[in-house]
Amino acid sequence: MFRISACTIARNEAKNIRHWVNSVRIFADEIIVVDTGSTDETRELAREEGAVVYEFPWCSDFSAAKNFALDKASGDWVVMLDADEYFDEPSQKKLRTVLQKYNRQKKIAGFITPFLNIDVEQGGSILSQAWQMRVFRREKQLRFAGKVHESLQNYAIDGKDREFILLKDLQFIHTGYSRTIIKEKLQRNLQILLREIQEQGGEHPRQYGYLQDCYMGLEDYQKAIHYGLLALKHRQETGLMGQTNSIVCKLLNAMRLSGLADYGKELEKAAEAYPDLPEVYFFYGQHLLSKMEGAKARKALLKAKELYEKPLTSAEDIRNLTVGNMPSLINDYMKKIEKYADYYTAMEKDDFLGAARNASQYLRAAYCNDSCVKDDKVGSMKSAHSLLTSIVILNKDLLIYTKQLIESIRQYTEKGSYEIIVVDNGSQDGSVEWLQQQNDVRLIANKENAGFPKGCNQGMEIARGQEILLLNNDTVVTTNWLTNLRQALYAEPGIGAVGPVTNSCSNLQKIEIPYPNENDPVAMRAMQSFAAAYNKSDPRKWHKWMMLVGFCMLFKREVYEQIGGMDEAYSPGNFEDDDYSMRIRRAGYEILLCRDTFIHHFGSKTFYKLTNGMLGKERTQYDQYMQRNDDYFCQKWNLRKDFYHRYRTILPSLKFSDEPMRIIEYEAGSTMDLYILGSLCRQGDIKGTTSHKPDLEIGGSYPLLYAEDLGQFIDILEGEYQLIIIAEDIQKYGDKIQEIIEQIEKHLSIGGWMITVKDGQWLQMQKE
């Protein structure tokens, strides 16, 4: 009978180590944790869970630590996973059975299995897919090499044939490269590589691919191109088995992001050189679409899909994707090409007016004239035109985006209606020098990174405008953007803050766009054409909202004077906009989401720069910092964790008539659900209940009542409702379900609906 050793090397993995041990327990005969110098409870927690713990002094060499673990293992097979990796549950259950099948086939030394890189901070979204070896025989000739990006090498000298085969039956998950912490790890890996190169007296081909990977992630695209070309030239010597397509993809992406003038020609050459790589055709289709060549883009994407669907037959076919979930992305692009066919046809003909009309039609953006706005609101807007808006922008080493934003403000905002205040947080990329030369920019140049909340406060303190606008520097403003937002802000005295929709954002402020989110002139020209059609002021598209994401938030000076600046305890950033929205509503003001106004948001550029290097030596993972801010926010306002931002995913898909409706929701919590219902049913009499009494104090546009349980909720019901939502699984009530439904049905009008959850699925019932 064979034995399995599960091994990992770990350092400060207290948050992961329990899960790791429990994930391998089902198949492992021995569990080994090699600790490389933890200062948290990693060792103690591992021992509590039954692992054998060894200590290995860290020497900036991942291979040395893993080979030490191999020396301690006694099993016939080794499962070597990082502490932030685990096999999914089906794989855990069948791993031993799979090994039993191959155990007697001695020439098979290991298995290359698929894995998913997921972002745990973004709801488990897939960052990329790849193949790696994590399961292999424990044999003396199988050892790890490379101080970083270590790989298993076969050092057999007896001529024994050894095979490493693809095995689709097993899959593991990697959680350690969430978007907010990946750069910190890349910086660490790059430093180890550079030290290794110095020690060995020069570069080795096996390091080219890893250097390309580091520089790509750190946005040094010229170096990424340099090492990508070297890796392809010496790919037989790199030892990166089957990863040619990964190198090609990163090379092409680096060329695109560097603004290479001949990017299109490079794509054509890549298609000739690597005709079997689906990723090349995917990038080519993406590029053609950015040029508004819809027909050609469709052909290239179909070719990518055809190649991708070919089965993998050997280790040489390993597909290490750099473009995420390709089938899903291809389908999204194909749907976009089909849906916006007339738009792309117009753009190919340089018929920009026609393109704008088509975009308007597709998105049902209502064209409205002055008669759509009441006279008193027109008068209010006329006075608003004479106001000064203080636009506060933060910058940290993102001159290319900040410069582009300021130029768009100058082009698309009425001259004399605004002032620009830029707070620079210690940039080293020439930002300060350029900003000092701009006559229309008021600059605060911090020597160090003060963080987002404090930087905003610095800008607001010197603002002279009657209104203040916080604007991310990775945005681009558009036609009528500020005019439309002002119209909404001054529509009623009780409105305190307003915000637009965009293409990259959370909080349901994101809309679908028919152009690529790429920072190149063609894409931006298409974006402005789209925005010109979209940005037509329409009060019917203003919705009361719970909170605004801070990429673009406009509020009256009286709000700022009443509630003050941002809470700097959230520095360097995140949750400060949630907090500010909460304070605005608790002060008695309404917040509006303006679905008649669109600005472009590249997404996360500013924040990645602001957080890079800001966490301190004691914090090696940024998600710990996010967790702290989340905890602080919930404790400050006495909220239930993970509940404040939650909304029922079924709600945005509901359709309502223009008739008045009475709607009530059980366990509406912090009222996000009620705001969604209010945006969909403008004539709705909407209220909800909560079992958490502090929710009653957070302030909101819709009544929130206290109901300790479902029985108390039913007692609250009065009269008839057109919609009753029970936002919990009624299956837990067992044989009382029918009685509960009958009690609720008494309060439904004829044709009214009850929506609830049963066995984890949404259930909709209509009263006949």
Q: Which residues contact 346 (CB under 8 A, 6 or more apart)?
A: 352, 354, 355, 358
Instruction: Find, among 395, 398, 397, the residue nearest to 420 by Cα.
Output: 395
- Write down the pLDDT at residue 337: 77
Residue 319's pLDDT is: 46
CA neighbor of 721 nearest in space, from 665, 765, 668, 664: 664
Of 452, 471, 517, 429, nearest to 219 (Cα)? 429
Assess if residue 354 is contained within a domain.
no
760 and 628 together in one domain: no
At 328, give phi and psi (nearest 5°). Answer: -65, -40
Contact (Cβ atoms closer than 8 angstroms) between residue 79 and residue 6: yes
Q: Which residues pair with 757 in a beta bridge?
A: 729, 762
Please check whether residues 611 and 744 belong to one and the same domain: no
Half-sphere exposure of 71 (CA within 13 A, CB side): 11
| pTM score of the predicted model | 0.54
**Which amino acid does the sequence have at 359?**
A
Is 441 in a helix, a strand, or coil? strand
90 prior amide bond cis, ω within 30: no
Residue 57 and residue 93 in one domain: yes
In a domain, 399, yes or no: yes
Residues 664 and 736 grouped into a single domain? yes
Domain co-membership, 672 together with 579:
no
Task: Estimate to the nearest angstrom the gap between the alpha carbon of 372 and the chain centroid.
Answer: 37
| Sequence-separated contacts (24+) of 757-763 with Cβ below 8 Å | 757/726, 757/727, 757/728, 757/729, 757/730, 757/731, 758/729, 758/730, 758/731, 759/729, 759/731, 760/729, 762/650
Q: Which of 146, 174, 202 is the last residue of a domain?
A: 174
Q: CA-based Rg of the chain, rounded to a whole angstrom? A: 29
- Residues 699 and 692 sit within 8 Å (Cβ to Cβ): no
Note whether 576 and 625 are same-domain residues.
yes
CB atoms within 10 A of CB 199: 8
Closest CA to 340 of 518, 526, 481: 526
The string of DSSP letters for 630-657 reads HHHHHHHHT--TTTSS---TTGGG----
Of 174, 195, 223, the residue at which a domain comes to its end is 174
Cα end-to-end span (Å), the chain: 65
Domain CATH code at residue 463 = 3.90.550.10
99-108: long-range contacts, CB 8 A cutoff, minimum separation 24: 99/2, 99/4, 99/135, 100/2, 103/2, 103/76, 103/77, 107/160, 107/161, 107/162, 107/163, 108/162, 108/163, 108/164, 108/165
Do 569 and 670 reside in the same domain of the chain?
Answer: no
Q: Which domain holds residue 679?
A: 651-766
- Residue 497: strand, helix, or coil: strand
Is 486 in the same domain as 426?
Answer: yes
The total of structural domains in the chain comes to: 3
478 in a structural domain: yes
Q: Taking each helix axis from N to C terminus, what angle separates 341-348 and 326-339, rounded to the nearest 10 degrees? A: 70
Structure tokens at 398: 């993102």
Instruction: Give the residue carrying structure tokens 């916006």.
Output: 340
Residues 623 and 687 in one domain: no
Burial of 466 (0-12, 13-18, 19+ CB in 10 A): middle
Last residue of some domain: 151, 174, 197? 174
Token pair recorded at residue 334:
């194909």
**Position 159 in a domain:** yes
Residues 6+ apart with CB under 8 A from 191: none
Residue 338 covered by a domain:
no
What stretches in the chain show pLDDT beneath 70?
119-129, 149, 155-161, 176-183, 236-243, 292, 311-326, 328, 343-344, 346-386, 604-623, 625, 642, 645
Asked, for residue 248, whether it belongs to a domain, the answer is no
pLDDT for 678-730, tens place per residue?
Answer: 999 988 899 999 998 888 887 778 899 999 999 999 999 999 999 999 988 88
Confidence at residue 161, expressed as pLDDT on a 0 to 100 scale: 66
Residue-level pLDDT at 606: 44
What one-letter code names the amino acid at 711? Answer: G
Is 613 among the domain residues? yes
- Mapped onto helix, strand or coil, the DSSP state of residue 675 is helix
Q: Please indicate, yes or no, whether residues 115 and 155 belong to a single structural domain of this protein.
A: yes
712 and 611 within one domain: no
Domain membership flag for residue 61: yes
Q: How far apart are CA 428 and CA 629, in angstroms?
A: 28
DSSP 367: P
How far apart (Å, rounded) are the C-alpha atoms in residues 585 and 545?
Answer: 10
Clarify whether residues 623 and 665 are in a common domain: no
